[in-house]
């Protein structure tokens, strides 16, 4: 049984520093319960800092009891306990299993800071299930690499110290130390794909080939090595295609073969922290967005992000609030906090500046985001032009056009922050200053 603790401590010593805080994802099931026992011994021997987090999904009638049991176990061994409730949309796409898993990991990120390590209890039999699920989906090397013993997670990292141990080894350890744990009744529901594999497929395979978990682990590691090698070989192409604002050059992408282009796209999406697209989504991104006509406004939704093409660039855009109806009065030397984290805007008096203070004095000034029906004449031009046309000429992406602060004097456009000043209000004495990290 000492081999269980030796495996656990080896993974922690090799993949964390003495300053790393250890955060245990404690569901209360046998795997995480064994991990709590191992963690308590580890911190006694090393003096390391640790905590446990229980994610309360509320899916079972016993969920409150499980949470309280986890709290008591942590109290018994002196490990700080955190309870984190989550609400699940049972009707969302992707199935309840996937939704619950995603919500769980999103919640756990709140507890993992820089240099922190999240510990989860997956073992070799879980690896077999994950591998078979990926095979069922028709995954390539990325999906078939399944779960790694070490992975990046939020600002820290994730460790699976039990990954090379079998379920029987963990059960035997729990029995030897007389550990009790909770049993989630949903684990018996074979309507869930993972449970179907666990109860109907894996036992047959294990009986025929007892060495299957070790073989699957080797295959998963080989797939992970191939993925890492591809990334290394194509990193130069990604850097060549990536522009200073984080977008990708469409012309550079199209200079690659389709296979290389799709791989570079996957690497870019990973850097953008976007959930990996399916093969069909990646094909749609290549054929319907990248190869769309020049005058089109193509886009593809990937989870909570949208991939858009504009002016020869490919952008990864986060969801934003519609602020087009927001408006507020502004005075000289006043800073307004703009909506949806758009920063601060100030109409600042100064010796130079690009705006005529003399022409603005006494006028009703406000900040707006709605360009509908408005026109302006930027300095150096003749005649008034619709803002829609000006945005096109200044090559402002479509999704940013209703997020550019417009300074209005009555019904007249005075300036658009960072873009232009209207000819009728050019001069000196004040300036429009917009400070933000996000457009």
Report d(CA 250, CA 266) in Å as an integer. 15
Range of lowest pLDDT (89-98, 209-218, 376-385): 89-98
Q: Which residues are annotated as a binding site?
A: 27-32
Q: Which residues are annotated as a binding site for ATP?
A: 27-32
DSSP 399: G
410 plus 338 within the same structural domain? yes
pLDDT in tens, 28-78: 999 999 999 999 999 999 999 999 999 988 777 888 899 999 999 999 999
Query: End-to-end alpha-carbon separation of the chain, Å?
Result: 56
Q: Is residue 142 part of a domain?
A: yes
Cα–Cα distances (Å) from 355 to 315, 359, 369, 393, 421, in that order, read 33, 9, 19, 22, 7
Q: pLDDT > 90: what percent of the chain?
A: 66
Report d(CA 287, CA 231) in Å as an integer. 22
103 plus 50 within the same structural domain? yes
297 plus 343 within the same structural domain? no
pLDDT in tens, 96-134: 677 778 888 888 888 998 889 999 999 999 999 999 999
- Give the residue carrying structure tokens 């199935």: 95
Query: pTM, whole model, 2 decimals?
Result: 0.72
Q: Is residue 71 part of a domain?
A: yes
Q: Is residue 41 part of a domain?
A: yes
211 plus 281 within the same structural domain? no
Q: Is residue 155 part of a domain?
A: yes
- Residue 69 · residue 98 · CB < 8 Å: no
Which of residues 317, 338, 360 is at a domain's end?
Answer: 317
Range of lowest pLDDT (52-66, 190-204, 243-257): 52-66
Phi, psi of 167 (to 5 degrees): -60, -45
365 plus 401 within the same structural domain? yes
Report d(CA 338, CA 436) in Å as an integer. 9
Which of residues 264, 282, 317 is at a domain's end?
Answer: 317
347 plus 293 within the same structural domain? no
pLDDT in tens, 138-186: 888 888 898 999 998 888 999 999 999 999 999 999 999 999 998 888 8
205 plus 306 within the same structural domain? no
| Per-residue confidence band for 93, with pLDDT thresholds at 50, 70 and 90 | low
Phi, psi of 26 (to 5 degrees): -105, 100
Report d(CA 432, CA 333) in Å as an integer. 10
Q: Which two tokens stand for residue 272?
A: 């953008």
| Per-residue confidence band for 92, with pLDDT thresholds at 50, 70 and 90 | low
Q: Is residue 428 part of a domain?
A: yes
pLDDT at 2: 59
Q: What is the CATH number of the domain that holds 115?
A: 3.40.50.620
DSSP 165: S
What rounded mean pLDDT belongs to the chain?
90
User: For residues 423, 424, 425 and 427, what is the CA-based torsion angle, rounded to 10 degrees?
Assistant: 70
pLDDT at 381: 85
> Exposure of 347 by Cβ count < 10 A (0-12 exposed, 13-18 middle, 19+ buried)?
buried
58 plus 121 within the same structural domain? yes
Task: Provide the b/e sequence for 84-103 (b: ≥16 CB within 10 Å).
Answer: eebeeeeeeeeebbebbebb
pLDDT at 439: 47
23 plus 106 within the same structural domain? yes
Q: Which two tokens stand for residue 78?
A: 């002196």
136 plus 258 within the same structural domain? no
pLDDT in tens, 315-362: 998 888 889 899 999 999 989 999 988 999 999 999 888 999 999 998
Report d(CA 98, CA 81) in Å as an integer. 25
Q: What is the CATH number of the domain that holds 297?
A: 1.20.59.20
**Number of domains making up the chain:** 3
Radius of gyration for the chain, computed over Cα atoms and rounded to the nearest angstrom: 28
pLDDT over 90 at 89, yes or no:
no
- Residue 26 · residue 54 · CB < 8 Å: yes
Q: Is residue 13 part of a domain?
A: yes
283 plus 335 within the same structural domain? no
Q: Is residue 51 part of a domain?
A: yes
pLDDT over 60 at 249, yes or no:
yes
358 plus 310 within the same structural domain? no
**Per DSSP, what are the bridge partners of residue 378?**
422
Which of residues 289, 317, 345 is at a domain's end?
Answer: 317
pLDDT at 436: 82
Residue span of the structural domain in which 135 resides: 4-220
Q: Is residue 322 part of a domain?
A: no
- Residue 151 · residue 161 · CB < 8 Å: no
């Amino acid at each position: 049984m000492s081999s269980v603790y030796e495996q656990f401590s080896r993974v922690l010593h090799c993949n964390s520093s003495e300053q790393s805080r250890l955060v245990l994802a404690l569901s209360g099931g046998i795997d995480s319960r064994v991990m709590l026992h191992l963690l308590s011994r580890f911190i006694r021997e090393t003096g390391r800092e640790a905590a446990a987090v229980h994610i309360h999904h509320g899916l079972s009638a016993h969920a409150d009891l499980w949470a309280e049991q986890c709290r008591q176990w942590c109290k018994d061994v002196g490990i700080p306990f955190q309870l984190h409730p989550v609400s699940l949309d049972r009707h969302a796409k992707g199935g309840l299993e996937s939704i619950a898993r995603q919500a769980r990991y999103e919640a756990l990120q709140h507890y993992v800071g820089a240099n922190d390590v999240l510990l989860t209890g997956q073992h070799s039999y879980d690896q077999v299930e994950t591998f078979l699920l990926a095979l069922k989906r028709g995954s390539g090397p990325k999906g078939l690499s399944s779960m790694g013993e070490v992975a990046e997670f939020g600002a820290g990292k994730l460790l699976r110290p039990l990954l090379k141990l079998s379920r029987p080894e963990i059960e035997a350890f729990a029995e030897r130390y007389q550990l009790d744990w909770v049993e989630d009744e949903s684990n018996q529901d074979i309507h869930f794909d993972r449970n179907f594999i666990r109860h109907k497929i894996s036992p047959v395979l294990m009986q025929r080939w007892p060495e299957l978990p070790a073989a699957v682990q080797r295959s998963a590691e080989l797939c992970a090595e191939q993925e890492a090698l591809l990334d290394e070989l194509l990193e130069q192409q990604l850097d060549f295609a990536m522009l200073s604002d984080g977008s990708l050059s469409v012309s550079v992408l199209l200079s690659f073969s389709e296979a290389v282009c799709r791989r570079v796209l996957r690497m870019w999406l990973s850097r953008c922290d976007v959930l990996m697209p399916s093969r069909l989504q990646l094909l749609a991104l290549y054929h319907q967005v990248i190869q769309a006509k020049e005058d089109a406004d193509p886009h593809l939704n990937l989870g909570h992000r949208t991939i858009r093409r504009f002016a020869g660039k490919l952008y990864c855009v986060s969801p934003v609030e519609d602020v087009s109806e927001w408006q507020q009065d502004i005075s000289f030397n006043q800073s307004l906090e703009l909506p949806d984290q758009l920063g601060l805007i100030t109409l600042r008096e100064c010796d130079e500046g690009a705006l005529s203070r003399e022409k603005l004095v006494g006028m009703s000034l406000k900040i707006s985001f709605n360009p509908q029906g408005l026109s302006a004449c930027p300095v150096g031009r003749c005649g008034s032009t619709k803002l829609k046309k000006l945005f096109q000429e200044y090559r402002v992406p479509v999704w940013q056009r209703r997020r550019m602060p417009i300074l209005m004097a009555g019904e007249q456009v005075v300036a658009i922050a960072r873009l232009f000043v209207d000819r009728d209000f050019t001069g000196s004495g004040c300036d429009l200053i917009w400070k933000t990290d996000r457009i």
